[in-house]
Structure 1
């Protein structure tokens, strides 16, 4: 029987992989849920360890199907003092504590933050509580979650691997990425652009592999047979434009609102955004300032079935991703592939991993990042051409079905996890991994 994802349970009795994530469950991380569910279906026993408790009010159906038990590490150390003290007291008696302390102090000199200290405390708790049946640890994200895992591994001597995605690649210093890759048994990442960066920092390029998330099309309905041939000429039947993503700078939603405001007055349209995020209030205020609030709807975070229903009713999907001032940027956003799963015409930026999937003029329309005028022009032209929208959407669906299915990426991850579970490298001393020994 499926259980709710918020329940903490005992870890599996037998050998298993411990999967460490920043937060669980998260509506914005369907790619992680998809991977966990498929690995379970293939017979891998998993246990989830999360650095944060959930903040989303809803969950995806996939989360309810995942049977792995979930343990939450203390997000704020002062809120779980006894747990942290027990972990600390246990850790200082471990043979690897001296190596850990030297590693941590070297990191702290280069990154003197409270966050760094928090990761050490979480590592003490994780190292103490991780059962011996966890024969390998796999962590999602190479920044803070991997810090916890790396520190704990120095205490316990377990083998660990990572999946790197987007922010963790582009905002983590090279020195830190290099040292974590060297300490890991293997890593995967989900775009060719990210792979080039990480492979160049690895002791051996093959230490890091490219594994696209892809999409499990069995979880999605077939695309609509046909969409209404809207052209935006009728006020009562406006062109429906949709975007999905957290309201953060790298998604470029501010550029999208400026583009929508610049559309010609004879084009009738409505826009819906799905996603939470820190900039949601700012975007609503911007829409009001641009005098388009009456044609825009900010729906907040929604579970995947609601998102798919919206995609099926839409005419155009838009995602103007860009690099944020912090250096953060997307990889290949899953929502682009989800739009393709419904044969929806895509307008996006030629940025990050998006062109690896969307070929300009074949599977969608690509414009330069941060160019709201070009974005407005692309949306305006496509809004008036229902036949072109249909052709682009069908091409995107065919590309998704033929080249970006889920199986290939999961095959690679499963193979490497099974090798790590059964290989001597998975139980090798931490010192050997810290010096970059090949898996």
Structure 2
């Protein structure tokens, strides 16, 4: 029987966290068990465990608020005997220190973005991360840039592995592009770090030049009303569509019905940053040309004029110029389209992600006396 891995995330899962779902469902040599307090999305056909009964759930939610191990996990480990525990996001990793200490199970923690950018600036979290760095067994960063952030937070380099998000490329057919039209696409929650406001300003600049451009914004969030008002003030309300929350299938279809994918990510005022936006990997796999920013781990996949175009964070003028350049340069569009797909095949295949994570598990279990 394959060794069991207990995967824990307080909320399993948010719609944007498809990368976690893909990993767990496609493990080859390890048997996944999923534990959570709040089952939400991507739970079908998985062994999902939650506290038994309302009182146990309330107790464990309270323990979560105190950043301690939910108690139901102890009984779960006794019954199912996992070989190791894998926590997803640093916050939940810290919560499982007590479980690892009392059970003797190795603790693997994956970091994905805001847990290494914004969270360490919150009260008490640098101290908590120092404890996690000492007591965690292995740490997984989604990008090289994120690994550097972990090093600055005091995590030991010898126990950090970089494992890039993986994509099932059979589900993202490549459609070569040979020209870029006016249909622009931006996918992501309507929050500051996604850069929607900059994209609106870029569309307004193109409009002022008499250039036709229409922007589809897929996703919802707290900035929806403010962004709609901004579009109105910029005089482009009729050129911007806010679709609200959409399904993964709708996002997938949008890659093929739009001409340019915009990923204008930026560091938010509270320090929040991306890891590597999943939409970027998906879009490149589908062949849509990408314009993104020099932000966090993005340049590790989007290399300027090779697999996409890069512009500075927060620079609407540069973003508008890059859009116009794609519209006017069909040869560049074709080159980026093919190179983007090849980069995803080389760096972000599902098989590579699963193999890299299972190599971490192997290394952890080899070290157990």
TM-score scaled to structure 2, two decimals? 0.88
The reply on whether 1:280 has 2:224 as its aligned counterpart is yes
1:49 is the counterpart of 2:63: no
Please tell me whether the aligned partners of residues 27 and 301 of structure 1 are also in contact (alpha carbons under 8 angstroms): no
Q: CA deviation at 1:423?
A: 5.0
Cα distance change, pair 276–50 in 1 and its aligned pair in 2 (3 A): farther
Change (3 A) 1:48 1:379: same
Separation of aligned partners in 1, 2:94 and 2:211: 51
1:203 Cα deviation (Å)? Answer: 6.2
1:271 aligns to 2:271 (yes or no): no
How is 1:12-23 mapped onto 2 (pairs within 5 angstroms)?
16-23=4-11
State the SS of the aligned residue for 1:243. strand
Match for 1:33 among 21, 24, 33? 21
Secondary structure (helix, strand or coil) at the match of 2:87 reads: strand
Partner of 1:243: 186
8 Å Cα contact 2:302/2:308 also seen in 1: yes
Deviation at 1:137, TM superposition (A): 0.8
Describe the superposition over 1:31-74 as per-residue Cα deviations: whole angstroms up to 9, x where unpaired: 111111211xx1421111224342xxxx6xxx37x633123469
CA contact (8 A) 1:84 1:124 kept: no
Q: Name which of 55, 68, 71 aligns with 2:46.
A: 68
Do structure 1's residue 206 and structure 2's residue 206 form an aligned pair?
no
Q: 2:266 aligns with which of 315, 322, 332?
A: 322
Shift of 1:202: 5.1
**Superposition deviation, residue 166 in structure 1:** 0.6
8 Å contact 2:176–2:337 — kept in the other structure? no
CA distance in 1, matches of 2:268, 2:154: 26
In the TM superposition, residue 255 of structure 1 has moved relative to its aligned partner by: 1.2
For 2:89 and 2:347, the matched residues in 1 are separated by: 25
Q: Is the 8 A contact 2:63 2:70 kept in 1?
A: no
Q: Distance in 1 between matches of 2:318 and 2:361?
A: 44
- Corresponding residue for residue 151 of structure 1: 98
**1:383-408 deviations in Å (ceiling 9; x for gaps):** 33333222212221122223332333
Supply the distance in 2 between the matched residues of 1:190 and 1:71 (Cα, whole angstroms). Answer: 26
CA offsets per residue over residues 227-276 of structure 1, 9 Å max, x none?
Answer: 5x455xxxxxxx11001111111111111111111213421121111123
- Asked if the contact 1:52–1:73 (Cα under 8 Å) also holds between the matched residues in 2, the reply is no
Whether the 8 Å CA contact 2:64–2:70 is kept in 1: the answer is no
Q: Any idea what the Cα deviations from partners look like across 1:102-127, whole Å, max 9, x if unmatched?
A: xxxxxxxxxxxx9974433x523433
Give the conservation status (yes or no) of the 8 Å contact 1:24–1:53: yes
SS at match of 2:90: coil
> CA shift at 1:332, angstroms?
1.3
More displaced 10-residue stretch of structure 1: 191-200 or 242-251: 191-200
Unaligned runs of 5+ in 2: none
**Partner residue of 1:187?**
139
Q: CA deviation at 1:421?
A: 4.8
Q: CA RMSD in A?
A: 2.7
CA change 1:407–1:379 in 2 (3 A) is same
Deviates more, 1:277-286 or 1:267-276: 277-286
Most deviating of 337-346 and 295-304 = 295-304
Structure 1 distance, partners of 2:168, 2:330, is: 28
Indicate the residue corresponding to 1:389 in structure 2.
333
Displacement, 1:316? 0.5
Aligned length: 362
Instruction: Measure, in 2, the Cα distance between the counterparts of 1:149 and 1:311.
Output: 38
CA contact (8 A) 2:2 2:30 kept: no
Q: Summarize the Cα distance change of 1:262–1:404 in structure 2 as closer, same or farther, 3 Å threshold.
A: same
Which residue is 1:10 aligned to? none
Please list every run of 5 or more consecutive structure 1 residues that lacks an aligned counterpart in the other structure: 1-12, 89-113, 232-238, 426-439
Confirm whether residue 259 of structure 1 aligns to residue 202 of structure 2. Answer: yes
TM-score computed with the length of structure 1 as normaliser? 0.75
Q: What are the superposed Cα offsets for residues 165-192 of structure 1, whole Å, 9 maximum, x if unpaired?
A: 1100112243322321221111111111
Cα distance, 1:149–1:30 mapped onto 2, change above 3 Å: same
Q: Is the 1:185–1:207 contact (alpha carbons within 8 Å) kept by the matching residues of 2?
A: yes
Residues 296-335 of structure 1: pairs in structure 2 closer than 5 A? 296-335=240-279
Question: Deviation at 1:210?
Answer: 1.0
Q: Which has the larger radius of gyration?
A: 1
